[in-house]
Structure formats: structure tokens, C-alpha cells
């Protein structure tokens, strides 16, 4: 952790802080979603991270995608805001956050996916039908579920309603 969040942690320790974040759901030409398995908790997730002081949110989203997954975003499309109790999270190291996350979709990117900053231990494209929400990082599960529902991928609904 660097920058603003590292400075805040020096002041407040593990106490809950509001974290403004920008994230990117990266989608390839086949409609597959790029996810990374996090090295701290081993859940899958899309790229994202805390906005720095005076950093435009769109630039933060692009920076995080490049830092975490090695991809350069050309065009971002606003998808949703993730906040509230569902977005509250305690990291394995004890740091607690109440997330306010602006999530973008990116279908226009270049580069080869590669885990670059140590936050991700593995990157993989998933067909929407392959995504198991129980393996998605808890504060972002609702976002991923929304994405799957809004893109018309009904396999998730079928899985949820099986006896």
C-alpha cells in the first residue's frame, strides 16, 4: 500500500475508513471477463484501487488496470457505484474499509494480461457462465452479479435456483 491510504493507515491504524476507489471490469472480444486471484485472500476480482489525492477517478481506474493486470485502457464506460454495507470489508491484515467504488467497463484495451504489482497471483479470462460468485471478493460480489444479470448471462440465475 502506498500513497494516501498508507498515510491514513499511519494515523488511524486498522480502524474503518471510507475508501474512494475506481475499478475496471475488463471484457475481451468474446465477452469473457478478466479476473485476478488476489494474493492476500485468494478470492477472484477485477482490477481496482484507492483514488489518490486530486486524482481523477477515470485515471485511477486506468492506472489500477495497468498496475495490477498490465493492460492499457483506451475507453472506459461507467457501469455502477458500489457502496453501503455490502461494500464494507476487512482485509486479511485487519485494515477495515467502507468502500465507495466507481466501477467501469472496458472493452477497448491493449496489452497482454500479466500480474505486475504483487496484488494478483494469477490472471484468467472467464466466460460469464464459468464465474462462481462464491469465489469473488466479498465486497465486489454484488457488482459482478449485477454485471452477469445485465449482460443477459442467465447461467447464474439457473445455478441459484437449483434445488
Q: Cα(45)–Cα(38) distance, rounded to whole angstroms?
A: 7
pLDDT at 161: 40
Q: Report yes or no: 102 and 64 within 8 Å, Cβ to Cβ.
A: no
**Which is it for the CA torsion 46, 50, 52, 58, positive or negative?**
positive
Which cell numbers hold the place of 1? 500500500
| Other CB atoms within 10 A of residue 121 CB | 12
What is the spatial distance between Cα 125 and Cα 21, in angstroms, rounded to a whole number? 23
- Mean pLDDT for 16-23 is 96
pLDDT, residue 153, reads 65
Q: Report the topology of domain 12-160.
A: Nucleoside Triphosphate Pyrophosphohydrolase (3.90.79)
Q: How many beta carbons lie within 10 A of that of residue 13, not counting itself?
A: 11
pLDDT > 90? residue 20: yes
- The structure's pTM equals 0.90
Q: Are 115 and 122 in contact (CB under 8 A)?
A: yes
What does the alpha-carbon distance between residue 69 and residue 26 come to, in Å, rounded to a whole number? 10
Degrees to nearest 5, angle at CA 74 with 99 and 76:
40
Return the domain boundaries, the chain: 12-160
Q: Give the chain's length.
A: 163
Extended strands (E) in 62-95: 72-90
Q: What is the pLDDT of residues 48-102, one digit of tens each?
A: 999 999 999 999 999 999 999 999 999 999 999 999 999 999 999 999 999 999 9
Residue 159 reports pLDDT greater than 70: no
Q: What percent of the chain has pLDDT over 90?
A: 86
Amino acid at each position: 500500500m502506498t500513497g494516501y491510504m498508507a498515510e491514513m493507515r499511519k494515523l488511524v491504524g486498522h480502524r474503518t475508513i471510507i475508501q474512494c476507489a475506481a475499478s475496471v471490469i475488463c471484457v475481451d472480444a468474446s465477452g469473457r471477463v478478466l479476473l485476478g486471484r488476489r494474493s492476500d485472500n485468494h478470492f477472484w476480482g477485477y482490477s481496482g484501487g484507492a483514488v489518490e489525492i486530486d486524482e481523477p477517478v477515470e485515471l485511477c481506474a486506468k492506472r489500477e488496470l495497468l498496475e495490477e493486470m498490465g493492460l492499457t485502457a483506451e475507453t472506459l464506460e461507467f457501469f455502477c457505484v458500489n457502496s453501503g454495507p455490502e461494500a464494507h470489508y476487512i482485509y486479511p491484515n485487519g485494515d477495515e474499509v467502507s468502500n465507495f467504488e466507481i466501477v467501469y467497463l472496458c472493452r477497448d484495451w491493449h496489452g497482454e494480461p500479466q500480474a505486475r504489482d504483487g496484488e494478483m497471483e494469477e490472471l484468467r479470462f472467464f466466460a460469464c457462465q464459468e464465474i462462481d460468485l462464491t469465489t469473488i471478493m466479498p465486497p465486489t460480489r454484488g457488482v459482478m452479479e449485477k454485471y452477469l444479470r445485465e449482460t443477459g448471462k442467465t447461467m447464474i440465475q439457473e445455478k441459484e435456483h437449483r434445488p
